[in-house]
Amino acid sequence: MIVALLLAQAASTDAYLDQGRQRWEQVSRQIWEFAETGLQEKRSAAYLEDLLEKEGFKVQRGVGQLPTAFVATAGSGSPVVAVLAEYDALPELSQKAGESSKAPTAAGAPGHGCGHNLLGTAAVAAGVAANRARIERKLPGTIQIFGTPAEEILIGKTFMIMAGAFKDTDAVLSWHPDDNNEIDPGKRTALTATDVEFFGKTSHAAASPWLGRSALDALEVFEHSMALMREHILPTARIHRVIKNGGVVANVIPEYAKLQMWLRDANMSNVEEMIGRMRKAADGAALATETRAKVSVLASVRNPIGNEVLGRLMQKELERVGAPRWDESDVAFAKALQKELGMEQAGMDSAVAPFGRGKGSTASSDIGEVSAAAPLAELRVAARPIGTAAHHWAQTACAAHPTGGKGMLVASKVLAASLVDLLQDPASVQAAKAELAKATKGKPYASPLAADAKPTVF
């Protein structure tokens, strides 16, 4: 009897989302067309904020020094359950919708190469569906929808936490488009993003080069040192860099050079060890070239603290809803993309993986910071072909294709039903909080950023 009742209750949120499918696909497509990068998501944020206000949510705009962040709230009292929405795009990843070969909408334009138009829309749809169920069933509790900008530069959620946005939140659910369907607490890595700057002395490169001290030389020595270091880091570690400034003209010795470097690994202690070695490399390069080095931390996120209570609750709903149901045209599109990318033409994932299979990942996210402030679990749903990756034009193409829409629908159903489950089961909420307290040994959240830090685009 109880099981039948729970299934019927879940079916009501499913039915609402099925009935509104076209609406949510239009919302997703609009955000896809906005394609605004981190801290620039003005139209995307306003669009979602206005929608939520019309749905009866109280919306706080401009949270945590972030004009494009919001917190939408409905209901009152405990438990306070939340879902995370993201809506930032990536630079230079525009792509025509549903095109299986590279075809930018405009050269150099941004695009949703991580599918955040799907992510944000599914989260909002789930929150709306769960709130309707809360009202219909007269359930106690509060639903929050966090609009979290600038995930791609890993700062939005951290500044929101620092502003106290999550202080009353009991449980947080999240999701991300992927090439599979799973809930795996070990799916993210820790990361620190830095600027490495060198300061030298300018001079005429032909007439008096001996009077100059090249910041570019220092940068090159530093780069070589880091390249050699790659042999001596763990297999789980990754180092990425891009030169932001290497001088202006060849006949003037550069007095300034800047490189941006991101370091990531399975946990923050490993990242911190690499950062220490990186600082030595920068100082050594400066010493060798008689310049000065400066290393600045831009962003830092820990690997998420897994929460089995929330993860298994969402796993139950994922298994109930099932993987997206693909048709022949979806599979044909997927295989065309895979062929274009030179990979096995395996199509789309149609299975639900077992809970916590430990597949691992090299991706990072500021949800790691949220997981230290409140219990959190993250869902993955297939919204792109097997074997393809995010941060690629292929994901942009999928994010405005039926494959992305079908993944988004499944995610919204799982999130909505899970939110309602938590409202109906305060004991699970308390168990999730106890699990986090045990993992953190009761220590309060400590931000990796300075208390006076300001959000900046980098």
Distance from C-alpha of 97 to C-alpha of 281, rounded to nearest angstrom: 44
pLDDT above 90 as % of the chain: 95
Radius of gyration of the chain, Cα coordinates, nearest whole angstrom: 23
Both tokens of 280, joined, read: 């030595």
- pLDDT at residue 1, rounded to an integer: 47
Do 45 and 68 form a contact (C-beta atoms < 8 A)? yes
Distance from C-alpha of 273 to C-alpha of 276, rounded to nearest angstrom: 5
Phi-psi domain of 290 (left: phi exceeds 0; alpha: psi -120 through 50; beta: other): left
Q: How confident is the model at residue 361 (pLDDT cuts 50, 70, 90)?
A: confident
Give, in degrees to the nearest 5, the angle at Cα 443 between 441 and 449.
135
| CATH number for domain 190-300, candidates 3.90.550.10, 3.40.50.1260, 3.50.30.10, 3.30.70.360 | 3.30.70.360
Q: How confident is the model at residue 6 (pLDDT cuts 50, 70, 90)?
A: low
187 pLDDT more than 90: no
For residues 394-402, average pLDDT: 98
For residues 309-324, average pLDDT: 98
- pLDDT at residue 452, rounded to an integer: 93
CA 182 to chain CA centroid, nearest Å: 16
- CA distances to 12, 13, 425, 433 from 8, rounded to whole Å, are 6, 9, 16, 28
The torsion angles phi and psi of 364, rounded to 5 degrees, stand at -125, 160
- pLDDT at residue 9, rounded to an integer: 60
Q: How confident is the model at residue 10 (pLDDT cuts 50, 70, 90)?
A: low
Q: Which residues of 74-108 are buried (b: 16+ CB within 10 A; e: fewer)?
A: bbeeebbbbbbbbbbbbeebbbebbbbeeebeeee
Give, in degrees to the nearest 5, the angle at Cα 300 between 154 and 190.
95
Please count the other Cβ atoms lying within 10 Å of the Cβ belonging to residue 217. Answer: 20
Please count the other Cβ atoms lying within 10 Å of the Cβ belonging to residue 162. Answer: 19
30 pLDDT more than 70: yes
Both tokens of 367, joined, read: 């949800």
DSSP structure string for 277-333: HHHHHHHHHHHHHT-EEEEEEEEEEPPP---HHHHHHHHHHHHHH-S----HHHHHH
Q: How confident is the model at residue 11 (pLDDT cuts 50, 70, 90)?
A: low
3-state helix, strand, coil in the chain (%, to 5): 45, 20, 40
Distance from C-alpha of 427 to C-alpha of 173, rounded to nearest angstrom: 17
For residues 241-270, average pLDDT: 98
Over residues 317-328, the pLDDT tens digits come to 999 999 999 999
Sign of CA dihedral 322, 327, 330, 336: positive
For residues 192-202, average pLDDT: 98
For the chain, what are the domain ranges? 2-188+304-440, 190-300
Distance from C-alpha of 60 to C-alpha of 83, rounded to nearest angstrom: 15
Q: How confident is the model at residue 310 (pLDDT cuts 50, 70, 90)?
A: very high
Do 32 and 123 form a contact (C-beta atoms < 8 A)? no
- pLDDT at residue 186, rounded to an integer: 72
Over residues 416-445, the pLDDT tens digits come to 999 999 999 999 999 999 999 999 999 999
Which superfamily does 2-188+304-440 belong to?
Zn peptidases (3.40.630.10)
- pLDDT at residue 417, rounded to an integer: 98
Give, in degrees to the nearest 5, the angle at Cα 385 between 190 and 121.
70
Residue 429: CB partners within 8 Å, gap ≥ 6? Answer: 78, 79, 81, 170, 171, 375, 422
For residues 151-172, average pLDDT: 98
Both tokens of 368, joined, read: 């790691």
Q: Which residues of 34-45 are buried (b: 16+ CB within 10 A; e: fewer)?
A: bbbbbbbbebbb
Peptide bond into 79 cis (omega under 30): yes
- CA distances to 142, 166, 350, 420 from 424, rounded to whole Å, are 12, 21, 30, 6
**pTM flag (> 0.75):** yes
Over residues 135-144, the pLDDT tens digits come to 999 999 999 9
Mean pLDDT of the chain: 96
